[in-house]
């Protein structure tokens, strides 16, 4: 298991440290884990001047899986575009061809109160958003700000070809087969031709998955339905831009984004694994961050890249145990539970393992 890990910025190094302790448990038990650290985001800009340096490219390409904590912070937001931390993130996704972003939105029963939605609306929530990650308006050309007839004009290009749509559709249908066999594809076909093609191709691919029930929803309606009745969804598949918005909306339904991991996979299940949350510069360096999304990202890595379901389940069970024992970092704290630090949460997970 060649793993390249990227602590990144803000709370990144603190939560990564806890994930590494979890990996260490498995290593000591005999799993053949090889670790290599590399720089991404602001940390990389500070050290090398670019957010996705060559050394990181080499390490990430050579690895079977990449663990990423979080990148970004106000310090780097003022830099020219090519040097901003998120360029590093977009760069590594594209470079490693990580086109399939899996973002589960799961409500832990112990944390049900954290949701801003009524308990009956979200109890038992378990959605999987499958977001295309290397195409769409994120990467389309032409793009940029130019001067035309004395006016500044901003331009970006939404673009998908049928192969790009087909391969993410296959990932989504396969995910649906392993779950409740229901897939909802989200588009804006009434306005955008790109997403008309999206819908056409998804329908074509559906013929190969007769056991999966496919439905379609417009993106504006989906943004509403996620609020109104999120449990109507199981697997949702959509493009990069809509997926960015809807997956964040869906994760916030749980009220505890500090708990949610994500996976970004290529065609061969090589993947990058990272929490859904950001680098939280405000609490960085204070040993306050919630390391559970990072630790659950390790579980996803075990499951998707290394097909080690036993290890994945063990990590997830350990996390559930510490929650059941009442341990909480500040972001998920409520009265009657025990407030712990980032490293104490790590201690508890390691002990539960």
- Which residues participate in catalysis according to the annotation? 138, 188, 220, 244, 248
CA atoms of 348 and 127, how far apart (whole Å): 27
Nearer to a copy of itself by C-beta: 5 or 160? 160
Interface with ligand IPM, residue 9, by CB under 6 A? no
- Choose one: 86-94, 165-173, 200-208, 315-323; the region binding ligand IPM (CB under 6 A): 86-94
Strands, DSSP E only, in 280-337?
Answer: 327-328
Nearer to ligand IPM by C-beta: 110 or 244? 244
- Least Å distance between CB 103 and ligand IPM? 8
Q: How many other CB atoms are found less than 10 A from the CB of residue 83?
A: 16
Which residues make beta-bridge pairs with 6? 68
- Residues in 126-185 that interact with ligand IPM by CB under 6 A: none
Interface with ligand IPM, residue 213, by CB under 6 A? no
Q: What is the largest CA-CA distance in the chain?
A: 67
Angle between helix 12-28 and 292-304 (nearest 10): 50
Residues that bind a copy of itself (CB under 8 A): 81, 84, 86, 90, 116-118, 121, 137-138, 140, 143-145, 148, 151-163, 188, 190-198, 200-201, 219-221, 223-229, 241-242, 244-249, 251-253, 255, 257
| Contact pick of 46, 163, 208, 220 for ligand IPM (by CB under 6 A) | 220
Residue 151: name its binding partner from a copy of itself, ligand IPM, none (Cβ under 5 to 8 Å by kind).
a copy of itself
Name which of 101, 106, 105 is nearest 241 in CA terms. Answer: 101
- Least Å distance between CB 75 and ligand IPM? 15
Structure tokens at 170: 């296959």
Structure tokens at 273: 């694994």
- Least Å distance between CB 279 and ligand IPM? 10
- Residues in 184-203 that interact with ligand IPM by CB under 6 A: 190-191
Interface with ligand IPM, residue 89, by CB under 6 A? yes
Site string for ligand IPM, 90-129 (x = CB under 6 A): x---------------------------------------
CA distances (Å), 63 to each of 33, 57, 67, in order? 11, 10, 10
Radius of gyration of the chain (CA): 20
182 is an annotated ligand-binding site residue: no
CA atoms of 232 and 26, how far apart (whole Å): 37
CA atoms of 76 and 160, how far apart (whole Å): 31
Residue corresponding to tokens 């008309």: 196
Residues at the contact surface with ligand IPM, assessed by CB under 6 A: 86, 89-90, 190-191, 220, 244
């Amino acid at each position: 298991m060649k793993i390249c890990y990227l602590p990144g910025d803000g709370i990144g190094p603190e939560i990564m440290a806890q994930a590494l302790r979890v990996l260490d448990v498995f290593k000591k038990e005999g799993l053949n884990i090889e670790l290599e650290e590399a720089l991404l985001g602001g940390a990389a800009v500070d050290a090398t001047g670019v957010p996705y340096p060559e050394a990181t490219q080499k390490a990430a390409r050579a690895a079977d899986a990449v663990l990423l904590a979080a990148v970004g912070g106000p310090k780097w937001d003022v830099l020219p575009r090519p040097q901003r931390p998120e360029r590093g993130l977009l760069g590594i996704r594209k470079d490693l061809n990580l086109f399939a972003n899996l973002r589960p939105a799961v409500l832990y029963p112990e944390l049900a109160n954290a949701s801003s939605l009524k308990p009956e609306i979200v109890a038992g929530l378990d959605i999987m958003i499958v977001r295309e990650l290397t195409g769409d308006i994120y990467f389309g050309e032409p793009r940029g700000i130019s001067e035309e007839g004395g006016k500044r004009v901003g331009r970006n290009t939404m673009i998908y070809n049928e192969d790009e749509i087909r391969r993410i559709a296959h990932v989504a249908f396969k995910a649906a087969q392993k779950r409740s066999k229901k897939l909802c594809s989200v588009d804006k076909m009434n306005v955008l031709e790109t997403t008309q093609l999206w819908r056409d191709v998804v329908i074509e691919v559906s013929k190969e998955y007769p056991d999966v029930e496919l439905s379609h929803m417009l993106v504006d309606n989906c943004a509403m339905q996620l609020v109104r009745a999120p449990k109507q969804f199981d697997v949702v598949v959509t493009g990069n831009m809509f997926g960015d918005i809807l997956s964040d909306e869906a994760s916030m339904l749980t009220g505890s984004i500090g708990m949610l991991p994500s996976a970004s996979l290529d065609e061969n299940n090589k993947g990058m694994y990272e929490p859904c949350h950001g680098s939280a510069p405000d609490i960085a360096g204070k040993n306050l961050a919630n390391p559970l999304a990072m630790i659950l990202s390790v579980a996803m890595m075990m499951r998707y890249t290394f097909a080690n379901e036993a290890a994945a389940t063990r990590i997830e069970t350990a996390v559930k145990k510490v929650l059941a024992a009442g341990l909480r970092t500040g972001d998920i704290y409520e009265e009657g539970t025990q407030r712990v630090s980032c490293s104490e949460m790590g201690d508890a997970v390691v002990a539960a393992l």
